[in-house]
C-alpha cells in the first residue's frame, strides 16, 4: 500500500508540473553518416534536425501546415562528436496574426559521462499556410511559467528587430566610408575573392521534400552550409569551423523537380575570421531564377592549440565585391553590438554604453528587453505598503531590484503619454531637479540629461544621461513600456560640478485594468548611484516612495484630459 501511495504521489507531482503544449523534443545519436571529416556532426545535419523539430512545434500550435520564414542568428558554442546524442527542444514563444516565433535549443549529451551542455540556441519564424477556409488566424500563446512569460515578452522585441534588420545595414553603410575596401587592393598577398567563388546545382527529389511536398527548409539550409564551407576552405586551404550564421531568410518556396542553384563567396576576411555570403536560387525548365534564401556565415580556422589562426587577406572584385566587402564590415559591427549590448546577463554589460546612431536600434532593444525581463520575475517580496502603494524588493546574485505599484483612475494610454516625457517628471518627483531633452532620436527613443539632488549633505549633485525607450502594446496582452538606461555621449562628458550617476535598468510598465483604470509599476535595478534614494524606504526608515507616487497619481489625474503638445510621444 505504501508503495502504491508513493507511486500515486509521483503521478500527482508529474501532473502538477507544467508542460508547454507546443513543446516538441527530438533526440538523435550522431552516426558516422552525419559527421564531417573531423568526426563531428555537420552543421547542415544539425540545422535539418532543428528545423524539423521547430516545424512540428509550430504545427502543433497552429493546427495546420507551417513553413519556415526565417531563422535568426545562430552562434555555435560547441561541436558534437560521433557517438554523442543531440537533444533538441522547440516550443512556440509567441503567436502573432499568421506567424509565430519558435524558440529552439540544441544540447549535446555524452552518454558515458552523463553530462549535457548547450550547443546553440535559435529563434525561428514560421508562417501558417492558408487553408481552404482562408488565411489562418493563430490563437494566442498563454505563458504559464516565468521563463515563458519572459520569452513571450521578448518575442515582440525580436520581431521588431527582424523587421528593421535591412534598415540597420543600410544606415550603417550610408554613414561609413568606403576607404576599407580600397585599402585591401594595396596588398600584393591578398587573395582575389573570385578564387573562393562556389556554384553548385542540386536537383530537388522526393527525399528532399517535406510533408507538404515542397523542399524541406532544413535541407536547403544544409546545402547552403555545404557550399559556404567550400568557399571558406578555398581561402584558408584547410578545413574551417562555422561559428555563426546571420539569419536565414526564406523569400519563396521550392518544389520537387526544381533545380536549386547554390552560390557562395568569401565577402571579407578579418584577422581571424571570415564572412561567406551564400544564396539559393531555384528554376525549372527555361524559367528565370527565383531567389529562395540567403545567409551570411562566419568561419574560423583552428590551429593545433584549438585557437583561431590568422587568415589571408581578401581582394574584393570591383563594384559588387566592394559592396559585399563593406556590408560584411557592417554585419561584423552588428555582431559586436549584439554580443556586448544585447545580453541577458547584466553583469556582462557595462552600466553605461556609448551612444551613436549606428547602435541605436540595439541599445533600444536591450533597454526595453531588460525592463521586460525584470517585470517577468515572479519572486518579488513585498517590503512595505501604504494606502494601495506597494514597495517590492528582489535580491538575487548580489543584485538588488525594487518595484513600486499603484493604481490610478486614468486610462492607460494617457498615463503612458504623460509619463513618456521625462521633462514633466519634475512636476511630481522631487528627485528630478532638472531635466533637459538632449536628442530626439526617433518617435520611440529620446536622450535626456537629468539632475538629481544630493542625498548626503555637502556632496555634489548627481546627473544622469538617460536613454528613454517607449513601447506601445504589440497586442491586447502587452503593457505600455517606458524603459530607461544610461548611455554616454561625447557632447556631455562628466564634469567636476556633478557626480555622474548610472542607471542600468529602470522604467514604467503600464497595464490597462479597465477603460479608465491603469496599473502603474515602476522598476529599478539599484545601482550605487540610485540605492541611496530608496534604501531608507526598503529598510522601513521612511516612506518617501508613498509620497512620490501619491504626487504621481495626483499629477496624472490632474492632467487626464490634456497632454502637453511638445511631448516626444505626441510628435
Contact 115/177 with Cβ under 8 angstroms? no
Q: Are residues 551 and 494 in the same domain?
A: yes
pLDDT in tens, 505-543: 899 999 999 989 999 999 988 765 556 666 666 665 556
- d(CA 336, CA 338) in angstroms, rounded, equals 5
Does residue 402 belong to any structural domain of this protein?
A: yes
- d(CA 517, CA 412) in angstroms, rounded, equals 7
- So what's the pLDDT on residue 563? 61
- So what's the pLDDT on residue 400? 81
Contact 224/262 with Cβ under 8 angstroms? yes
Q: Is the dihedral of CA 304, 308, 313, 316 positive or negative?
A: positive
* Range 270-288 average pLDDT: 92
Using the 3D structure, point to which of 116, 144, 172 is the last residue of a domain.
Answer: 144
Q: Are residues 369 and 301 in the same domain?
A: no
Does residue 104 belong to any structural domain of this protein?
A: yes
- Residues in Cβ contact with 482 at an 8 Å cutoff, skipping those fewer than 6 apart: 416, 419, 420, 468, 469, 470, 507, 508, 510
Q: Are residues 58 and 136 in the same domain?
A: yes
Does residue 470 belong to any structural domain of this protein?
A: yes
Q: Are residues 454 and 379 in the same domain?
A: yes
Does residue 9 belong to any structural domain of this protein?
A: no
Q: How much is the mean pLDDT over the chain? A: 85
Q: Which of 124-128, 155-159, 244-248, 528-532 has the highest mean pLDDT?
A: 124-128
Q: Are residues 130 and 230 in the same domain?
A: no
- d(CA 291, CA 212) in angstroms, rounded, equals 20
pLDDT confidence bin for 186, thresholds 50/70/90: low
Using the 3D structure, point to which of 113, 144, 175 is the last residue of a domain.
Answer: 144
Q: Are residues 308 and 332 in the same domain?
A: yes
- d(CA 526, CA 401) in angstroms, rounded, equals 6
How are beta strands 462-471 and 499-500 bridged, if at all?
parallel
With both helix axes pointing from N to C terminus, report the angle between 320-340 and 360-376 in degrees, rounded to the nearest 10: 30
Residue 96 sits at φ, ψ, to 5 deg, of -105, -140
- So what's the pLDDT on residue 15? 43
Instruction: Identify the bridge partners of residue 186 per DSSP, sorted by sequence position.
Output: none
- So what's the pLDDT on residue 8? 45
* Range 498-503 average pLDDT: 86
pLDDT confidence bin for 562, thresholds 50/70/90: confident
Does residue 248 belong to any structural domain of this protein?
A: yes
- Residues in Cβ contact with 488 at an 8 Å cutoff, skipping those fewer than 6 apart: 352, 353, 354, 355, 465
% of the chain residues with pLDDT over 90 = 52
pLDDT of 344 above 50: no
Q: Which of 188-202, 226-240, 342-356, 484-498 has the lowest mean pLDDT?
A: 342-356
Q: What is the dihedral of CA 229, 232, 238, 242, to 10 degrees?
A: -60
pLDDT in tens, 265-276: 999 998 889 999
pLDDT of 311 above 50: yes
Q: Which of 34-38, 359-363, 448-452, 545-549 has the highest mean pLDDT?
A: 448-452
Contact 209/254 with Cβ under 8 angstroms? no
More confident residue, 253 or 183: 253
How are beta strands 381-386 and 389-396 bridged, if at all?
antiparallel
Q: Are residues 132 and 259 in the same domain?
A: no
pLDDT of 417 above 80: yes
Q: CATH number, domain at 34?
A: 3.10.129.10
* Range 39-68 average pLDDT: 94
Does residue 347 belong to any structural domain of this protein?
A: no
pLDDT of 174 above 80: no
Q: Are residues 307 and 405 in the same domain?
A: no
Contact 100/72 with Cβ under 8 angstroms? no
Residue 111 sits at φ, ψ, to 5 deg, of -65, -25
Q: Are residues 401 and 542 in the same domain?
A: yes
* Range 487-497 average pLDDT: 90
Q: Are residues 437 and 323 in the same domain?
A: no
More confident residue, 524 or 480: 480
- So what's the pLDDT on residue 535? 63
pLDDT of 13 above 50: no
- So what's the pLDDT on residue 439? 93
pLDDT in tens, 91-150: 999 999 889 999 999 999 998 888 999 999 999 999 998 776 667 889 999 998 888 988
Q: Are residues 411 and 433 in the same domain?
A: yes
End-to-end CA distance of the chain: 72
DSSP string, 32-51: GGGB-TTSBB-HHHHHHHHH
pLDDT of 491 above 50: yes
- So what's the pLDDT on residue 343? 46
- So what's the pLDDT on residue 430? 86
- So what's the pLDDT on residue 456? 64
* Cα–Cα–Cα angle for 123, 125, 130, rounded to 5 degrees: 160
Q: CATH number, domain at 420?
A: 3.30.530.20
- So what's the pLDDT on residue 517? 94
State how many domains the chain has.
3
The DSSP symbol for 251 reads -
Does residue 348 belong to any structural domain of this protein?
A: no
Contact 254/89 with Cβ under 8 angstroms? no
Does residue 406 belong to any structural domain of this protein?
A: yes
- So what's the pLDDT on residue 106? 97
DSSP string, 445-473: EEEEEEEE--SSTTPPPEEEEEEEEEE--
Domain residues for the domain of 434 are 354-570
Q: Are residues 368 and 512 in the same domain?
A: yes
Using the 3D structure, point to which of 289, 309, 340 is the last residue of a domain.
Answer: 340
Q: Is the dihedral of CA 197, 201, 202, 204 positive or negative?
A: positive
* Range 253-281 average pLDDT: 94
Amino acid at each position: 500500500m505504501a508503495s502504491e501511495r508513493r507511486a500515486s504521489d509521483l503521478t500527482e507531482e508529474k501532473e502538477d508540473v507544467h508542460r508547454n503544449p507546443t513543446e516538441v523534443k527530438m533526440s538523435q545519436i550522431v552516426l558516422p553518416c552525419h559527421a564531417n571529416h573531423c568526426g563531428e556532426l555537420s552543421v547542415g545535419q544539425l540545422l535539418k534536425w532543428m528545423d524539423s523539430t521547430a516545424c512540428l512545434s509550430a504545427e502543433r500550435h497552429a493546427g495546420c501546415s507551417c513553413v519556415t520564414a526565417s531563422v535568426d542568428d545562430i552562434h555555435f558554442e560547441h561541436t558534437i562528436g560521433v557517438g554523442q546524442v543531440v537533444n533538441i527542444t522547440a516550443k512556440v514563444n509567441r503567436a502573432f496574426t499568421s506567424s509565430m516565433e519558435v524558440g529552439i535549443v540544441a544540447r549535446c549529451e555524452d552518454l558515458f559521462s552523463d553530462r549535457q551542455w548547450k550547443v546553440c540556441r535559435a529563434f525561428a519564424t514560421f508562417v501558417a499556410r492558408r487553408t481552404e477556409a482562408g488565411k489562418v488566424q493563430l490563437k494566442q500563446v498563454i505563458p504559464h511559467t516565468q521563463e515563458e512569460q519572459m520569452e513571450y515578452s521578448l518575442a515582440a522585441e525580436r520581431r521588431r528587430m527582424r523587421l528593421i534588420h535591412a534598415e540597420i545595414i543600410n544606415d550603417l553603410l550610408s554613414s561609413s566610408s568606403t576607404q576599407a575596401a580600397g585599402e585591401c587592393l594595396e596588398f600584393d598577398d591578398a587573395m582575389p575573392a573570385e578564387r573562393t567563388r562556389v556554384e553548385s546545382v542540386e536537383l530537388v527529389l522526393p527525399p528532399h521534400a517535406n510533408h507538404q511536398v515542397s523542399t524541406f527548409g532544413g535541407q536547403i539550409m544544409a546545402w547552403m552550409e555545404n557550399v559556404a564551407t567550400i568557399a571558406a576552405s578555398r581561402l584558408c586551404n584547410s578545413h574551417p569551423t562555422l561559428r555563426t550564421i546571420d539569419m536565414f531568410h526564406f523569400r519563396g518556396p521550392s518544389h520537387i523537380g526544381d533545380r536549386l542553384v547554390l552560390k557562395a563567396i568569401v565577402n571579407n576576411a578579418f584577422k581571424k575570421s571570415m564572412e561567406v555570403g551564400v544564396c539559393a536560387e531555384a528554376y525549372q525548365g527555361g524559367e528565370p531564377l527565383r531567389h529562395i534564401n540567403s545567409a551570411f556565415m562566419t568561419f574560423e580556422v583552428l590551429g593545433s592549440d584549438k585557437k583561431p589562426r590568422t587568415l589571408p587577406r581578401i581582394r574584393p572584385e570591383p563594384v559588387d565585391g566592394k559592396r559585399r566587402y563593406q556590408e560584411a564590415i557592417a554585419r561584423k559591427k552588428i555582431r559586436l553590438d549584439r554580443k556586448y549590448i544585447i545580453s541577458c546577463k547584466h553583469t556582462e554589460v557595462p552600466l553605461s554604453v556609448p551612444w551613436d546612431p549606428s547602435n541605436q536600434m540595439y541599445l533600444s532593444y536591450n533597454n526595453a528587453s531588460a525592463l521586460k525581463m525584470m517585470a517577468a520575475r515572479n519572486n518579488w517580496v513585498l517590503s512595505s505598503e501604504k494606502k494601495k502603494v506597494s514597495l517590492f524588493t528582489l535580491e538575487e546574485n548580489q543584485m538588488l531590484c525594487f518595484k513600486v505599484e499603484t493604481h490610478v483612475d486614468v486610462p492607460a494610454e494617457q498615463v503612458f503619454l504623460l509619463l513618456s516625457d521625462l521633462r514633466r517628471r519634475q512636476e511630481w518627483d522631487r528627485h528630478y531637479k532638472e531635466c533637459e531633452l538632449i536628442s530626439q532620436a526617433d518617435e520611440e527613443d529620446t536622450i535626456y540629461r537629468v539632475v538629481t539632488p544630493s542625498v548626503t549633505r555637502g556632496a555634489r549633485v548627481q546627473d544622469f544621461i538617460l536613454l528613454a525607450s517607449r513601447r506601445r502594446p504589440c497586442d491586447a496582452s502587452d503593457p505600455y513600456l517606458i524603459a530607461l538606461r544610461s548611455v554616454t555621449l561625447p557632447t556631455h562628458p562628466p564634469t567636476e560640478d556633478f557626480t555622474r550617476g548610472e542607471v542600468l535598468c529602470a522604467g514604467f510598465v503600464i497595464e490597462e485594468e479597465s477603460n479608465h483604470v491603469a496599473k502603474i509599476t515602476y522598476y529599478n535595478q539599484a545601482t550605487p548611484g540610485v540605492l541611496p534614494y530608496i534604501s531608507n524606504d526598503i529598510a522601513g526608515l521612511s516612506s518617501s516612495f508613498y509620497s512620490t507616487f501619491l504626487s504621481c497619481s495626483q499629477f496624472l489625474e490632474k492632467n487626464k484630459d490634456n497632454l502637453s503638445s511638445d511631448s516626444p510621444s505626441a510628435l
